[in-house]
């Protein structure tokens, strides 16, 4: 996107100016819709069906307004923390990073609260006690924008003192809150399909150095699942590793892991445990079209997590890839079981 190519100051200025204008405009639309909704309720029983297009549009618009409101809250929090840290002078100190991480947890929880209230997206959270202490490398399934919030929420629920690092796609810089907090915490924004892949891998590896008691999150699929992307992944793997192709071609609900980033992290942090996060239900949040077609959601979103001790992780890259593929296949099977049960 052209906006991402602009200097940070210019990009942020444009977004910060447009944000309150957009919130005001969408709030006005919501008020208008509420009046129309009340008028229609008086005239007829047209609101009886949960599939009513008017109500679906109202729910989705309300969620957008809520998200933009959370962006405004995030900006105010970032400004407050900037003052607390003496205009950013102490932002790299441990207490500052923990405070930023706490606000990030509150912000992501707030976004998912909107999903619950406006879209009826109930989330069943697992026991998070395994995430209380590091070091950990966390690999998380990726089906929508909202599931990018999940690792922060799970680590926050564990109530430890971990500072979470993220490898995120550069498109998320369009979120003002993620832009500001993402650059104050030790995160890295990956440019997908970059011509400088070796440089990207080195940056990811450096993020894993000095992890100590913290954790680093990576979304190893690289993008949302779709049949087209799955087919493209298989074609890419077939060119370099036919043995691996046989392992991953039967996956149904997840994309094969892109191994470069995760291997770099494991290489940088040999003493870190590996955590897998899987979920079922976020596939209905993959686009505005999917959300509009399925809202209000009737099935809950299920989450699973598994912590693997670092002593079980093989030594060589080839064995690590097979090990990761087997674990990822387990996430895929869990997804299949959830769908059959539902």
- Tens of pLDDT along 179-189? 888 888 999 98
Domain limits at 298? 2-341
User: What end-to-end distance do the CA atoms of the chain give, in Å?
Assistant: 38
| pLDDT 10s digits, 213-255 | 999 999 999 888 888 999 999 999 999 899 999 999 999 999 9
Residues 135 and 272: beta-carbon distance below 8 Å: yes
Cα distance between residue 156 and residue 109, in whole Å: 9
pTM of the full structure:
0.85
Phi, psi angle pair for 222, to nearest 5°: 85, -20
pLDDT at 280: 92
- pLDDT band for position 311 (cuts 50, 70, 90): very high
Strand partners, 190: 169
Average the pLDDT over 326-331 and give the result: 96
- The pLDDT of residue 153 is above 60: yes
Q: 């000095």: which residue's tokens? A: 210
**Contact indicator for 164, 135 with CB cutoff of 8 Å:** no
β pairing state of 123-124 and 188-190: unpaired
Cβ atoms of 205 and 268 closer than 8 Å: yes
**pLDDT exceeds 90 at position 317:** yes
Structural domain count of the chain: 1
């Amino acid at each position: 996107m052209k906006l991402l190519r602009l200097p940070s100051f210019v990009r942020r200025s444009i977004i910060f100016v447009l944000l309150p204008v957009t919130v005001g405009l969408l709030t006005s639309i919501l008020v208008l819709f509420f009046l129309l909704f009340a008028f229609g309720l008086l005239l007829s029983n047209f609101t009886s069906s949960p599939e009513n297009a008017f109500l679906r549009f109202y729910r989705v618009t309300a969620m957008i307004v809520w998200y933009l409101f959370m962006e405004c809250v995030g900006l105010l929090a970032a400004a407050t923390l900037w003052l607390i840290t003496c205009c950013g002078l102490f932002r790299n100190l441990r207490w500052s990073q923990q405070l930023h991480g706490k606000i990030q947890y509150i912000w992501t929880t707030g976004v998912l609260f909107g999903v619950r209230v406006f879209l009826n997206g109930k989330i069943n959270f697992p026991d998070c006690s395994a995430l209380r202490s590091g070091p950990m490398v966390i690999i998380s399934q990726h089906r929508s924008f909202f599931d990018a919030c999940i690792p922060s929420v799970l680590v926050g629920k564990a109530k430890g003192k971990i500072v979470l690092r993220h490898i995120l796609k550069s498109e998320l810089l369009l979120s003002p809150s993620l832009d500001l907090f993402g650059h104050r915490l030790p995160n890295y924004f990956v440019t997908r399909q970059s011509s400088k892949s070796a440089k990207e891998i080195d940056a990811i590896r450096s993020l894993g150095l000095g992890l100590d008691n913290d954790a680093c999150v990576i979304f190893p699929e690289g993008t949302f699942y779709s049949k087209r992307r799955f087919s493209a992944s298989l074609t890419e793997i077939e060119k370099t590793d036919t043995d691996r192709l046989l392992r991953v071609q039967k996956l149904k609900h997840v994309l094969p892991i892109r191994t470069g980033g995760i291997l770099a992290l494991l290489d940088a942090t040999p003493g870190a445990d590996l955590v897998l996060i899987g979920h079922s239900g976020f596939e209905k949040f993959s686009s505005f079209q999917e959300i509009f077609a399925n809202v209000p959601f009737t099935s809950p979103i299920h989450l699973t997590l598994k912590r693997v001790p670092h002593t079980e992780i093989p030594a060589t890259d080839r064995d690590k890839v097979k090990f990761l593929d087997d674990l990822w296949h387990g996430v895929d099977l869990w997804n299949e079981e959830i769908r059959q049960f539902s």
